[in-house]
Amino acid sequence: MGSGGVRRSVVAVAALGSLLTVTAVTGCGGSPGDGPDAGAGGSGSTAGKAGRSTAPADPTRIPGVGDRLQQRIPGDSSQVVAVYGDGKDSADSTVVLYTKQGSAWHRARSWAAHNGKKGWTTDHHEDDNRSPVGVFTLTDAGGVLPDPDPAAGLPYTESGAFAAPRSWAESHWHDFDYVIAIDYNRVKGTPPNDPTRPEGSSKGGSIWLHMDHGSGTSACVSVSKSGMEYLLRTLDPDRHPVVVMGDRANLEA
């Protein structure tokens, strides 16, 4: 485990009803009733489409990412989770994990995924149902289920407080069994469901990587359970992981 990987264990001390109320406010974009993500969605993207380009690949760059965002990837980062959205208004995307060896990036794994049910935005606000475009660090994880590998990965908070409200559609009940906080409008080094929003509530928050339910989200990025388990075992604080996310046009700009 990396030097930043001190494990956290949170024991629920409130009744289940109270815990679920907290999650409804803070989970995946954070407003009560946001969970049932009806509307946009689908079966997900084909992973092979991610990062395609007609130009020769430059191994020192993340495929499909233009100068604007490429320059925002920290120089000490050697793990990048790239989220390639199918389109500005699409809920379908592909997640690809890249790892750096020397100066070259290598594609490690990829998964079909979903993002905000209304697509993407460069100016995310609360309840717009769009995922924010940008480069964000990944520092904290958690979920209802135990850490799949307590000896490795990001600091992890296990707590029933992550559970999705049972007022949501049953297909969403396991969304937050595993989550990785995307460091958008949050305090690093705190559990993913910490409600603090340094830029104010209007800018939204609680943007997570979490388990997929087969359609678009409120603003988060969702992948399969096996994908989340792999990321939780693999992302290493000492390798300074980041997520680069957006629709393909914004990523390539």
Asked if 160 and 176 count as a contact pair (C-beta separation under 8 A), the reply is no
Q: Is the pLDDT of residue 26 over 70?
A: no
pLDDT for res 241:
98
pLDDT at 50: 55
What is the four-CA torsion angle of 73, 249, 56, 104, rounded to 10 degrees?
Answer: 20
Residue 141 DSSP code: E
* Continuous H helices in 67-165: 67-70
Other CB atoms within 10 A of residue 74 CB: 12
The pTM (predicted TM-score) of the whole model is 0.83
Q: Are strands 92-101 and 79-85 parallel, antiparallel or unpaired?
A: antiparallel
- 100: three-class secondary structure by DSSP: strand
The region that residue 29 occupies, defined by phi over 0 for left and psi between -120 and 50 for alpha, beta otherwise, is: left
What is the average pLDDT across 43-57? 50
Considering the chain, what is the average pLDDT of its residues? Answer: 85
**Given this model, what pLDDT does residue 8 score?**
54
> Which among 67, 134, 141, 79 is positioned nearest to 109, based on CA atoms?
79
* Count of C-beta atoms within a 10 Å radius of residue 56: 5
Beta bridge partners of 110: 96
pLDDT digits (tens, 9 = 90+) for 96-135: 999 999 999 999 999 999 999 999 999 999 999 999 999 9
Please tell me the predicted confidence (pLDDT) of residue 234: 98
* pLDDT per position as a tens digit, 196-246: 999 999 999 999 999 999 999 999 999 999 999 999 999 999 999 999 999
| Residue 6 and residue 189 in contact, taking contact as beta carbons nearer than 8 Å | no
117, 154, 237 from 149: Cα distances, Å: 31, 10, 14
pLDDT tens-place string over residues 161-203: 999 999 999 999 999 999 999 999 999 999 999 999 999 999 9
What mean pLDDT is predicted for residues 38-48?
Answer: 37
Sequence-separated (6 or more) residues with CB below 8 Å from residue 55:
none
Rg for the chain, CA atoms, rounded = 17
The per-residue pLDDT for 4 is 44
What phi and psi values does residue 252 have, to the nearest 5 degrees?
A: -80, -15
